[in-house]
Structure 1
Amino acid sequence: MYAEWAPERDLAGRVACLWRRVGEREGTLLVVPDGCVDLIWGPGGPFVAGPDTGPVPSRVRPGDVLFGIRFRPGAVGEFFGVPLQDLRDQRVPLTDLGTVPSLAGALDVPDLDPEAADPLAAVRAAVVARLRQIPAPDPAAPAILAGLRAGRGVREVAWQLGLSERHLHRRTVASFGYAPKTLQRVARFQRALRLARSGVAAADVAVAAGYADQAHLSHDVKRLSGVTLRHLLHGG
């Protein structure tokens, strides 16, 4: 069972959602790239997930409870005290991020009580306090993402923002953990998923999401998720 809810006002600019997952049966959950970074509490304690460039199988057991805080793409900034690209395709225990010992100490709650009225209350307070201590994320990040999501080329996005392509690359990696082309591929993939889940036919998804054709869509979906679009939608 999975549920998510919107963050309070003091987190809304940096956090996409808070979420909770309860394992109902033994299995493997396929996590696919979405441009986000998650701070997660599982049976082994808190850890950082992502940003991903490919599929990450995650083993789930009955009764496992996970809570997460999902940062918006480009909104993590210096929260974890390490370059975001160092966390790319990684699952890192929070206590291993020695650059932010005060944060790790405040958030090292190995077993959040799923029966509590608000099990994430103390966690949210610690996250808010940390955000107040660090600089705001790159103000260009939303425009970079919007331009790449719209299908514009890297050169065009750089020109629109008054940046060189090298400068755009550096700021994109710092903000998202990805190079611009990878970020564009992930954003297009997520748009395709949203369209397909809304009932749009695969051939129409390819056009609407900005792929050259359906074969291009199929190739990118397999590259980023390891499975077909049909499998992502229906599990087989």
Structure 2
Amino acid sequence: MHAHAGFETRHDARDVLGTHRHGGAYAALVIDGSHVEASPDGPIACEPGTLVLHPRWHAHGNRFGRLGATVANLDLADAAAPDTLRVLRVPDARQARAVFTDAPQRLGELIAACTPVRAPELHAWQAEFLRELELGELDVATLARRAGVSAAHASRVFAVSHGMPPQLLRRELRCRRALRLLADGLALADIAALAGFADQAHLSRTLRAATGATPSRLRGQIKCVQDAPPRPALQ
């Protein structure tokens, strides 16, 4: 299933990786040290034994702790890619590391033995703020006022917890919604309206900037994944 073994990266103490995205899906296992991953999914505290499964085009940033971190990484085939971010706890970090380095074909077994990590806790006002960012049209200042915080405070909080201020977070959430809708075979103009874009041209520009591909090409890639034989890697 995986033609190549994983590789390890070492990150210095207090290192910061700004928001970025990977074109392909991949698994990341924390070997030592710690870091916080911030994305539209919220902050994830990653420590030794944390296994994060990233879907394609997942935008996130990383803030490393006082000891830095060593992370094992493994690219996932499209057909084995998760639809959404998954955060798991491995039963044995040493054995999990061996899967990444020596037996990537056993990743499915490793995942099946893991336990899910609870979703991060957010400030009480953030959940509704996020829903409105994705689905509503109110400006950020109005959303902040409704939440009982200042626009500047909302921007600072989301930049820390989600890796980007509300305006960029709105764009990212709508991109995700559009990518999900592409799989349903809807017309691009309908997808643009349902995902909150001004029109089809706006949708196309934004998705191309985020993923490097046009909506039509993305739809073809998604269809290829859907038509591929099922893989056991992420059961």
| TM, length-normalised to structure 2 | 0.56
The match for 2:43 among 64, 73, 76 is: 76
**8 Å contact from structure 1 (residues 221, 228) kept in 2:** yes
The alpha carbon displacement at 1:165 in A equals: 0.2
Match of 2:98 in 1: 111
Q: Residues of 2 paired with 1:149 and 1:43: CA distance?
A: 35
Q: Residues of 2 paired with 1:71 and 1:180: CA distance?
A: 13
Q: Cα deviations across residues 111-161 of structure 1 (Å, max 9, x unaligned)?
A: 325448841477x46x75xx7xxx844343322211101133211221221
Q: Residues of 2 paired with 1:231 and 1:91: CA distance?
A: 33
Q: Residues of 1 paired with 2:43 and 2:165: CA distance?
A: 16
Q: Cα deviations across residues 75-101 of structure 1 (Å, max 9, x unaligned)?
A: 425446xxxxxx945698xx8438xxx
Q: CA RMSD in A?
A: 4.4
The match for 2:6 among 43, 49, 54 is: 43
Q: Secondary structure at the match of 1:212?
A: coil
Q: Cα deviations across residues 173-193 of structure 1 (Å, max 9, x unaligned)?
A: 111111111110011111111
Q: Which segments of structure 1 move beyond 6 Å, counting only runs of 4 or more?
A: 69-72
Match of 1:223 in 2: 209
**Distance 1:43-1:79 versus aligned 2 partners, 3 A rule:** closer
Q: Cα deviations across residues 44-97 of structure 1 (Å, max 9, x unaligned)?
A: 14899x88555x345x9xxxxx646899844425446xxxxxx945698xx843
Identity of aligned residues (%): 25
Match of 2:197 in 1: 211
Q: Residues of 2 paired with 1:136 and 1:116: CA distance?
A: 29
Q: Residues of 2 paired with 1:193 and 1:45: CA distance?
A: 30
Q: Secondary structure at the match of 1:232?
A: helix
The match for 2:139 among 153, 168, 179 is: 153
**8 Å contact from structure 1 (residues 46, 110) kept in 2:** no
Match of 1:63 in 2: none
How many residues in Structure 1 have an aligned counterpart in Structure 2?
173
Q: Secondary structure at the match of 2:110?
A: coil
Matched, 1:140 2:118: no
Q: Cα deviations across residues 161-206 of structure 1 (Å, max 9, x unaligned)?
A: 1110001001111111111111100111111111221111001111
**8 Å contact from structure 1 (residues 53, 224) kept in 2:** no
- Return 5+ residue gaps in structure 1 as ranges: 1-21, 27-41, 61-65, 81-86
Q: Residues of 2 paired with 1:77 and 1:68: CA distance?
A: 13
Residue pairs, 1:191-206, within 5 angstroms: 191-206=177-192
Q: Residues of 2 paired with 1:116 and 1:178: CA distance?
A: 31
Q: Residues of 2 paired with 1:43 and 1:164: CA distance?
A: 44
Match of 1:186 in 2: 172
Q: Residues of 2 paired with 1:116 and 1:204: CA distance?
A: 38
**Greater fraction strand:** 2
